[in-house]
Amino acid sequence: MHRTLEGAEMGPLQRSRATLRIAGDELIPDEISHLLGCLPTSSRRKGEEISGKTSGQKHVAISGLWRLTASPREPEDLDGQIDEILIRLTDDLKVWKALSQRYSVDLFCGLFMGCGNEGLSLSASSLQALGARGIELGLDIYGPDDPDDA
């Protein structure tokens, strides 16, 4: 249970997903892997032919992309997913500053509700770790009746 400052309780979100994404036209996935000290879950270069996940249709990547995905959590544990991702990567803030100046860097999170009035809290240490690295936090929240919640 999460408590608000007023002491009210709300249930945890049903589940969460989190992916660190680094994107840019000039991105070379092997260079990012070398700088961060970790192989990605998936990557591509601009202009590379890729297949759609569900359709299988081929198309050309309009930008380079390097992604590292944490294990899905049920119930939601976004702090744990942030730790899971960042522990695998360099702590060198100079590397992160250079990456965030050159590319778009974000932590994209899917948050899935099982019913109404669910919530989450992020620890100060998670927020500080993301901010120090120039990682923007993006949250997609799916309601309990959302058809995309498959």
| pLDDT tens digits along 19-52 | 999 999 999 999 999 999 999 999 999 988 887 7
Of the listed ranges 17-26, 40-49, 51-60, 111-120, the one predicted with least confidence: 51-60
pLDDT of residue 119: 86
Q: What angle do CA 107, 95, 125 make, to 5 degrees?
A: 50
Q: What is the mean pLDDT of residues 65-76?
A: 97
CA distance 36 to 29: 11
What is the average pLDDT score of the chain? Answer: 90
What number of other Cβ atoms are within 10 A of residue 9's Cβ? Answer: 10
Query: Contact 11/144 with Cβ under 8 angstroms?
Result: no
Chain Cα centroid distance, residue 22: 10
